[in-house]
Structure 1
Amino acid sequence: MKLSREIKTGIIVVAGIVAFIFGLSYLKSSPLFENNKTFYAVYDNVGGLQPGTQVSINGFNVGNITDIRFKDDSGKLLVTLTVNNDFEFSENSIAELFDTGIIGGKAVQIVPVFDKAPIAKSGDTLQSKIKPGITELVQQKLTPLQMKIEGAVSHADTLLMNFNQILDDPTKKQLQQTIASLNEVVTSFKGSADNLNLLLDNNKMQLDSSLKNVSHITSNFSKLSDSLVNSDLGGTLTEFKTTVNKLNSILAKIESGEGTLGKLQKDDALYDNLAEASKELDLLLQDFRLNPKRYVNVSVFGKKQKEYTLPENDPAEQLDSIQQKENQ
């Protein structure tokens, strides 16, 4: 069968179009013309993440989700991410799944890590992480609070039950009597307060005068304290301390028997001699007072001096007798 020129031309055109499509597909799959990288992340639950969702780095869109499928029989989900080649990061970077808003869906952001690890290459599986959303955070905070409130309510119910058991009829009567007594006490206090206010009103002038006197006394005391500060009280105390130390030193020497006073205190013989001399001087003065002629004899106009006659109970003889007794 002979084909016409038009049929041949049509076949050639169709074959060229098919060849162009297959060639373009081949060139797209070639790394030479590829401008994107493909990464993978594994999650236990993607929370409604949809293919086509954008992938961001630091809030900037750099790619999208191309595929979500089960990884194996464990039920974990394998998410395929396509990211452009404009930004490089470490293979230790994290693919974080997060909420886009309260009523929004899920999205993935890459948390780049810049360490000395190799740069992430197309086909690598990144570390995955799920960031709690606002709803989950609120639930996490409210759950302990809810448990505490439930526990408090339960304790309150128990307390009220115990309180009702305690408040029997006699106890209620006693409480009523106690409240009535408290009312009387409050009334009495109120009367006392009224009387005190009346007393203060009647003696306001005297109180003002007393307060002025107290202020005057305080002012004088302040001046006295200033005078004491300016009078070198510290130096005076230092001199007084020095004097006391010297006095203590003198008393210590007397106590140890040093000096005249110390010997007088310690030497009993010296004390006895002084006591004896005092007695003799006393007797001598007494005899001189009673018998002055015994010691002083004045002759007027050459008159012959009378001989002295010892009186009875002569103090000197008594002194001699005492000395003789002591010597024996």
Structure 2
Amino acid sequence: MKFSKEVKTGLLAVFAIATFIFGYNYLKGTNLLNKERIYYVVYTNVEGLDLSSVVTVNGLKIGKVQHITISSRTGELVVRFNVVGDFQFSKTSIAKIYGGGIIGGKSLSIIPDFTSSDVAISGDTLIGQREEGIMEFMNDRLSPLQDKIENTVVSTDSVLSAVADVLDKDVRESLKKTLKDLGEVAASFKESSKTLETILKTNQDKFNQTFDNLNKTSENFAILSDSLSQLEVGKLVANIENTIADFNAITTKLNNGEGSLGKLLNDELLYKNLEGSTKQLEQLLEDMKLNPKRYVHFSLFGKKPGSYQEPKQPKD
């Protein structure tokens, strides 16, 4: 089948027009071969959102802003954007303007609402929100600070005015005198510091010797402590306890009248007999001194010695 020149020319024109349209949209970032859906969102302020600004979900690019128009009746801005791919979200999802710094651009983020089963279709209008920008953040934070600074300046000015009124001539003179006295005290303290420094330098050798003696004393204490730690303290304490126990046993026996010494201490009759014997022995020794011939004698004729006579007690 043969086509006429007119048909061929028409087909070529249609192909050229289609190629032009496809190329133009492709250069704008729109691929006509991809499946896309169109959505709308309304804002009172787009804060620098521009055409071709990216549309993201959790940071992933899924589309871009295609058109922004302003309503002549309300002044609101209607943003049209596309979503490419099979990602589905509900009609109650939020389209939030975010990002952008002092010189950065804005983007559009889809915050899906998975609690609703009403899926958004192409042509639906989503809920619009705006993220607080850095300039708004700074304005919101700096405005209260500015008010506080202004109030502080006013209060400071009032205080200074009150101080100026209170500080009359006499008070100022008193303050000058006080400052002068403080200066003299500082000078005196400085002189005292110099004197103390001189004393320390003069007696440096004595101080060094004193510290050496303290070190030696500390070493001696350490040696003494080591010596004491090496003693068998437990054995020494045991010996002392045994000695005390033996002494207590002896004392108990004496108190109970056991043994000769115990009987002597506790038997009154034995004590009296011993006392009488001692007295008789003293009398015997006294008589031997007074009459030695009675006990030691020598007789050629066998003369008998006289009978014993008790010596007379000396008169007081």
TM-score category, normalised to shorter length = 0.5 to 0.7
SS in 1 for 2:65: strand
Q: What residue is the counterpart of 1:164 in the other structure?
A: 164
For the Cα contact (< 8 Å) 1:64–1:83, is it kept in 2? no
- Structure 2 counterparts to residues 245-256 of structure 1, below 5 A: none
Provide the C-alpha distance between the structure 1 equivalents of 2:55 and 2:230, rounded to a whole number of angstroms: 87
* Mapped contact 1:66–1:82 kept (Cα < 8 A): no
User: CA–CA distance in 2 between the matches of 1:140 and 1:284?
Assistant: 125
Which AA in structure 1 matches 2:295?
S
Match of 1:62 in 2: 63
Q: Secondary structure at the match of 2:308?
A: coil
Is 1:306 the counterpart of 2:305? The answer is no
Amino acid at match of 1:308: E
Q: Say if 1:54 and 1:107, in contact at 8 Å, map to a contact too.
A: yes
Q: Which stretch shows the higher mean deviation, 136-145 or 102-111?
A: 102-111
TM-score norm. by structure 1 comes to: 0.58
- Find the aligned partners of 1:52 and 1:106 in 2 and give their Cα distance: 10
Corresponding residue number in structure 2 for 1:100: 100
Partner of 2:309, secondary structure, is coil
Alignment deviations for residues 191-220 of structure 1 (CA, whole Å, 9 cap, x no partner): 211211221222122122222222333333
Give the aligned partner of residue 195 of structure 2.
195
- What are the residue-to-residue correspondences of 1:146-295 with 2, within 5 Å? 146-227=146-227, 230-231=229-230, 236=233, 260=252, 291=283, 293=285
Correspondence for 2:138 = 138
Q: After superposing the two structures, state which structure 1 stretch, 133-142 or 45-54, moved more.
A: 45-54
SS in structure 2 opposite 1:109?
strand
- Are 1:51 and 1:68, in contact at CA under 8 Å, matched by a contact in 2? no
Give the structure 2 partner of residue 4 of structure 1. none
CA positional deviation for 1:97: 0.5
**Which blocks of at least 5 consecutive residues in structure 1 are unaligned?**
1-8, 25-32, 254-258, 265-272, 315-328
The alignment partner of 2:212 has SS state of helix
Structure 2, unaligned stretches of length 5 or more?
1-5, 22-32, 257-264, 298-303
Q: Deviations over 1:68-92 (max 9, x none)?
A: 455996x76543321212x515436
Contact between 1:38 and 1:123, CA under 8 Å: does it hold in 2? yes
Matched position secondary structure for 1:208: helix
For the aligned residue pairs, the C-alpha RMSD in angstroms reads 5.3
| Sequence identity (%) | 26
Secondary structure, aligned partner of 1:216: helix
Asked whether the equivalents of residues 54 and 65 of structure 1 are also in contact (C-alpha less than 8 Å), the reply is: no
Residue pair 1:51, 1:66 contacting (<8 A) in 2 also:
yes
Q: Contact 1:88/1:120 (CA < 8 Å) preserved in 2?
A: no
Q: Normalising to structure 2: TM-score of the pair?
A: 0.60
Whole-Å separation in 2 of the counterparts to 1:289 and 1:179: 106
Contact 2:68 2:77 in 1 (8 A): no
- Secondary structure, counterpart of 2:217 in structure 1: helix
Map of 2:87 onto structure 1: 88
Aligned length: 269
Which residue identity does 1:299 align to in structure 2? Answer: Y
Q: Spell out, residue by residue over 1:256-309, the C-alpha distance to the aligned partner (whole angstroms, 9 max, x if none).
A: xxx949x89xxxxxxxx96x89x9799879957974558999833374453225
8 A contact 2:287–2:311 mirrored in 1: no
Write the letter of the residue equivalent to 1:108: L
Change (3 A) 1:227 1:153: farther
Once the two structures are overlaid, the 10-residue window that deviates more, 195-204 or 208-217, is 208-217
Checking the alignment, whether the CA contact within 8 Å between 2:39 and 2:82 is kept in structure 1 is yes
SS in 2 for 1:45: coil
Distance 2:156 2:174 in 1: 24
**Alpha carbons 1:293, 1:308 under 8 Å: kept:** no
SS at 2:79 equivalent: strand
Map of 2:28 onto structure 1? none
Closer/same/farther in 2, CA of residues 50 and 305 from structure 1, 3 Å limit: same
